[in-house]
Structure 1
Amino acid sequence: MNMLDSSETKMNSLRDRDANVTISEIAVSAGEWKTPASSQISLAITLKPTSAVQVKPTAQYPKNTPVGNISICRMNDSRVFEFAEETAFGHITLNEDLFAPVLQDCGIKRVELMTFDILEDATLLQMTTILLQQRRDRFQAGALFLDSMVTALSSYLVNRYSATLPLKVSLTGGLAPSTLRRCIDFIQANLTESIRLDDLARETGMSPSHLIRSFRQSTGKSPYQYVLELRTKRAKSMMRDRRLGLTEIALSSGFANQHHLSRIFRRVVGVTPSRYRANLLG
């Protein structure tokens, strides 16, 4: 996404090509600002409350946008707004390729969303907030979490805001036992690697969104939650060896670093790795 003038905006952007998503934070100074004309589906999230007047292509009355406001942006459309004070936005761009499996599941030929300048949607706000926080954390939660969030976001957008009514696809049951076994074997064999949702989808022959639903029906967990539990179990087992430090255990269990291990371990087990190890070894 390109801005008119670097003096008007400051943008901090991270892109994950495999997940087909670009996540940005944009600081906008007071004065006129031209929105980019994007050919992809994009969302804007207000991070600082503001009031703006649309100047071009047609003048409109001021609009107050509170923190947490979501905009589903118009595609291939550029507008000029005037801001009375500096503000900030989160911006998430989703590549059209990301929607292909979702469209197939919903029986829609192409993605076309209804657009909104001011939208209150608690679910959409939660998803976009999580993605923005992941950008700030430089995607520490890993590729599988990012893939799962982006897939969930694209599916939600199509099912909730598609201009074409999606078909209601009834999915019963979970994965076939042999398919589930292949999926779990792949996870276990690649536990220390960066597992992508597309990798698991290829193992099952399903779309990513269908895989997430079916995997949860079979195991009671999402693929990401399942991977975290396996990594936590491996870490717990390795903690029996007094010679191993927590950093080595973290990396050997598939976590990004010791901090990542500590955060997830406490969430899953209920205590810190250090406390668990002390209780384990006496």
Structure 2
Amino acid sequence: MNTPPSSRIVAEIDGALRPLFPTLNQGARSPSPSLAIEAHRGRISDWQTRKIRGHVLTLFIDPGHVLHCVDNSTVSRIAIPSHGVVISLRNQTESVSWLKDAQVLSVQVEDRVLSEAAQALGIHTPFHLTANRGVRDTRLTALLRALSIEQASGYPSGQLFVDGIESALAALLVSGYADVVPSSTHLDCTLPPARAKLVEEFARANLHVALTLKDLAECAGYSPSHFSRSFRATFGTTPHRFMVGLRVERAKELLKYSRLSTLEIALHCGFQTSQHFSRVFKCLAGVSPSHFRKRG
């Protein structure tokens, strides 16, 4: 399992690696170097014969209807419900033809991330994910819909948010769709108190920095997948939500005790824009930054 990361999701088509979708990605490019994310509108077309190299998940925003066959087998007509998720066949030649236009979001999870998730779950032997033509899994759907919304908005929450979704996707795929059984899903995986304190201090000292899951994991001395599970077990929330909470907490202090503008406070606390800062602040504090400052 050594598929390299790619800014585009690719497949072997006509003897060469080409983009899986012939259309341009709709929306911003993924901020993650390991999770390719693409939004497309599948269009009625002739047969496309391809071999997908990586682990690709496709969320159907609209209901989908395709013709599909593997290795020249019998052609099947497949209906995918709205918000159904397709786990693509890996390293098998398949032919696909869209029978109806449909909006989709496809992501490719890097092999390294899946392997780290497997080790965190106690799987130390080779494994394969099982393909599925349209699974209804509310957890997969929720994660992919969150990515879809984030991608359409230009990734205002940054890479840490995407890293968290990627880690959750990998853990869910390995625990629910691999051909092996995890052995440690119920083990205590909380961070030791000293490491938890170290991570919190590191986070507070770097609120202005666009930290990634890898940055936080390295501070604790864990792999990103192991750290993600341990962090949630320790703090009761995701690293991204934890960082957002710390940033809003710091912003409240600056609004009360400094003369910095809203934009300066937003940038100082690690928000990309004053608009994103105001939206997140109001969501957590119940009032806008300007209102919070006025009331004092």
The reply on whether 1:22 has 2:21 as its aligned counterpart is: no
For the pair 1:90 / 2:105, whether they are aligned, the reply is yes
- Residue 37 of structure 1 aligns to a residue whose secondary structure is strand
Q: 1:36 and 1:15 mapped to 2: Cα distance? A: 24
Give me the whole-angstrom Cα distance separating, in 2, the residues matched to 1:33 and 1:192.
49
Q: Per-residue deviation at 1:188?
A: 1.6
How many angstroms apart in 1 are the aligned matches of 2:231 and 2:289? 28
Distance 2:295 2:127 in 1: 53
Query: Are 2:188 and 1:194 equivalent residues in the alignment?
Result: no
Percent identity of paired positions between Structure 1 and Structure 2: 24
Mapped to 2, the partners of 1:87 and 1:192 lie a distance apart of 40
Match of 1:250 in 2: 266
Instruction: Describe the shift of the 1:218–1:30 C-alpha distance in structure 2 as closer, same or farther (beyond 3 A).
Output: closer
Partner residue, 1:45 = 59
Query: Where does residue 279 of structure 1 map in the other structure?
Result: 295
CA distance in 2, matches of 1:30, 1:176: 54
Q: CA deviation at 1:216?
A: 3.0
**Alpha-carbon contact 2:32-2:163 (below 8 Å) kept:** no
Q: Is the 8 A contact 2:80 2:133 kept in 1?
A: no
Q: Does the CA contact (< 8 Å) of 2:189 and 2:229 recur in 1?
A: no
The answer to whether the 8 A contact 1:44-1:71 is kept is: yes
TM-score, with length taken from structure 1: 0.89
Letter of the 2:264 counterpart: E
RMSD of aligned alpha carbons? 2.4
The Cα shift of 1:23 comes to: 0.4
CA distance 1:248–1:211, change in 2 (3 Å): same
Q: 1:61-80 residue pairs with structure 2 within 5 A?
A: 61-80=76-95
Looking at structure 2, the residues matched to 223 and 94 of structure 1 have their Cα atoms a distance apart, in angstroms, of 19
Unaligned runs of 5+ in 2: 1-8
The equivalent position to 1:218 in structure 2, one of 225, 234, 242, is 234
**What is the aligned counterpart of 1:167 among 183, 192, 209?**
183
Query: Aligned residue pairs: how many?
Result: 278
Q: Unmatched 5+ residue regions in structure 1? A: none
TM-score (norm 2): 0.85
Question: Structure 1 pair 64/181, CA: closer, same or farther in 2 (3 Å)?
Answer: same
Q: Which residue of 1 aligns with 2:125?
A: 109
Q: Are the aligned partners of 1:30 and 1:87 in contact in 2 as well (CA < 8 Å)?
A: no
Q: Which of residues 235, 254, 258 is equivalent to 2:251?
A: 235
Helix, strand or coil: the match of 2:90? coil
Residue 151 of structure 2 corresponds to: 135
Contact 1:53 1:59 in 2 (8 A): no
1:12 aligned residue:
25
SS of 2:181 mapped into structure 1:
coil
User: CA 1:246/1:198 → structure 2, altered by over 3 Å: closer, same or farther?
Assistant: same
Q: Is the 8 A contact 1:191 1:227 kept in 2?
A: yes
